[in-house]
Amino acid sequence: MTDIRVAVVDDHPVFRLGMVALLSTLDGIEVVAEASSAAEAATAVTGDVDVVLMDIELGDGSGVEATRDLLARLPAVRVLMVTMHEDDDALLASVRAGARGYLVKGAGPEEVERALRAVAHGDLFLGAAVAERAMGFLASPRGAVPAVFPELTDREREILDLVAAGHDTATISRRLILSPKTVRNHTSNILTKLGVPDRSAAIVRAREAGLG
């Protein structure tokens, strides 16, 4: 009897097909949907799905944004992020988006099964390759942005901190796993809320407040 219904979302066909083949060998697990993009995932993933294996980088956007949109529509679905990256920013962005697990693509079959079952049952799963580093990151103050500019949202303050540090839109997009368009929209909102004419003026204001 199937007790965990899975959707696999990955824009790399070889990896996606390989993951589907692996999951089909596991007792009590059935792949009920596949998608190669965020757009396909929006229609392929329904309330019949228990767990989504979500690639963090999709051809038409970010798996983090796709996860956020998916959970807004189907809050009972659990997301296990699958990625080539072990960096802190990608992990933090995934957890903030609501993902319940974070697994590196180099993980073996046993770890994939363990992650899938853990997430399906409501546990938070971090692969062995990232768990120790994640604990160190969460325990460190380096990820915190000072609580300045209360008129900004947490995400806007985070982006302003990176802008003040001299990062361009493309770099911020990669670090926060957001699309460039989303970063530009947030930046425009920041300028409006701070009442400054451009990024240079925003950088001056941010650095005076201790950001960057």
Q: Using a CB cutoff of 8 Å and minimum separation of 24, what contacts does 191-198 make? A: 193/149, 193/151, 193/152, 193/156, 194/149, 194/151, 194/152
Q: Within this chain, do residues 135 and 149 fall inside the same structural domain, yes or no?
A: no
* Lowest mean pLDDT across 37-46, 56-65, 192-201: 56-65
Q: How far apart are CA 150 and CA 102, in angstroms?
A: 31
Q: Within this chain, do residues 72 and 169 fall inside the same structural domain, yes or no?
A: no
In the chain, the amino acid numbered 148 is: V
Q: Which domain holds residue 195?
A: 145-208
Q: Within this chain, do residues 197 and 127 fall inside the same structural domain, yes or no?
A: no
Mean pLDDT of 126-135: 63
Determine the pLDDT at residue 14: 93
Q: Helix (H, G, I), strand (E, B), or coil: what is residue 2? A: coil
Q: What mean pLDDT value characterizes the chain?
A: 86
Determine the pLDDT at residue 44: 93
- With b for 16 or more beta-carbon neighbours within 10 A and e for fewer, the 73-102 pattern comes to ebeebbbbbbbebeebbbbbbbbbbbbbbb
Tokens of 51: 């767990």
Structural domain total, the chain: 2
Determine the pLDDT at residue 33: 95
The CATH number of the domain holding residue 195 is: 1.10.10.10
pLDDT of residue 26 exceeding 80, the answer is yes
pLDDT in tens, 171-191: 898 888 888 899 999 999 999
For residue 30, the cross-strand partners are 5
34 closest CA partner among 57, 4, 75, 6: 6
Q: Within this chain, do residues 102 and 173 fall inside the same structural domain, yes or no?
A: no
Q: Within this chain, do residues 10 and 67 fall inside the same structural domain, yes or no?
A: yes
**68-to-53, 73, 100, 121 alpha-carbon distances in Å:** 14, 9, 12, 20
Tokens of 65: 């944004």
Q: Within this chain, do residues 67 and 112 fall inside the same structural domain, yes or no?
A: yes
Q: Within this chain, do residues 62 and 94 fall inside the same structural domain, yes or no?
A: yes
73 closest CA partner among 42, 100, 48, 51: 42
Q: Within this chain, do residues 130 and 149 fall inside the same structural domain, yes or no?
A: no
